[in-house]
A = this chain, B = another copy of it.
Amino acid sequence: MDVMSDVKATRATRLREKSGARRQQQKAEVRRALLDAASGLFLEHGLTGFSLRGVAERVGYSATTVYLYFENKDDLLFAISLDGFEQFGQALQTAYETTADPVERIGALGRAYIAFGVAHPAHYRLMFMERGEFLTKTNPHDQKPTSDAFGILVRAVHEAHAAGRVRPGNPMDLVYTLWAGVHGLVALTLCVPMLNEADLTIRTDHLLDVLFSGFAEKAR
């Protein structure tokens, strides 16, 4: 009996720990399912056609259940944007590693930036146009340092600056000018109907060409 109870106790404890971990894992799974459904609905229908009720229906839950896994609609959108920032950071990181030349590197980053924007319009809109505040919002889950896309760009420009490949002055000015250029091109492509995506490569080439000519100019 004592032996039995002992066995049962240990097994119960193990089960409790196991079940606690499993509960946590199950909770994470449901959260992930909700997030995937939300991402899908958002990528398909954009911000306007994105509703909590729609997300819930997709997973077979009630609408209010979403509030058990996310603070509110904005929190869910932020989670979606985090996935976007993750992808975006990896794309920039890959571009960064394609070449060792500081100037070519910046060009690769610019092209990767634009390519991501037009390839993931819903994500890009959310991250940089509709919810710009997400850029500076700190990740509460704090899991991954959300591969710092901005940091990659800053580093690349600093390296080109240190190598004397760009005009003297505050390198951050170059960062913002470059960012403005690529963001402007992406944003206009996504928003303005007259700028079809067909001639985007021409405009990309021209923009980067002009920017680099301006960047490269030596002191005045």
Copies in the complex: 2
Q: Chain B residues with Cβ under 8 A from A132's Cβ?
A: 188, 190-193
Asked if A183 contacts B187 (CB within 8 A), the reply is: yes
Chain B residue at minimum C-beta to C-beta distance from A207: B177
**Which residues does chain B contribute within 8 Å of A190, judged by CB atoms?**
132
Cβ–Cβ contact B213 & A176, under 8 A: no
Q: Interface size (A, Cβ < 8 Å)?
A: 38
8 Å CB contact of A177 from B174, B179, B194, B210: B210
Q: Which residues of B contact A202 (CB under 8 A)?
A: 173
A181 to B194, CA, bound (A): 17
- Asked whether A183 lies within 8 Å of B173 as measured between CB atoms, the reply is no
The reply to whether A179 and B188 contact each other, CB–CB distance below 8 Å, is yes
Is B180 a contact of A207 with CB atoms below 8 Å? yes
CA distance A73 to B168 in the complex (A): 51
Q: How far is the CA of A214 from the CA of B167 in the complex (A)?
A: 12
Asked if residues A193 and B129 are in contact (CB atoms below 8 Å), the reply is no
Q: Taking chain A's interface residues, is the majority helix, strand, or loop, or is none over half, making it mixed? A: helix
Given the complex of chains A and B, what is the CA–CA distance between A206 and B173 in angstroms? 7
- Given the complex of chains A and B, what is the CA–CA distance between A217 and B209 in angstroms? 10
Contacts of A191 in B (CB 8 A): 128-129, 132
Kindly list chain B residues whose C-beta atoms are within 8 Å of the C-beta of A206.
169, 173-174, 176-177
A9 contacts chain B at the CB level, 8 A cutoff? no
Q: When each residue 125-154 of chain A gets 1 if its CB lies under 8 Å from chain B and 0 otherwise, what string results?
A: 000110011011000000000000000000
Once the chains bind, are A173 and B203 in contact (CB under 8 Å)? yes
A23: min CB distance to chain B, Å: 37
Interface positions of A from 197 to 220, Cβ below 8 Å from B: 202-203, 206-207, 209-215, 217
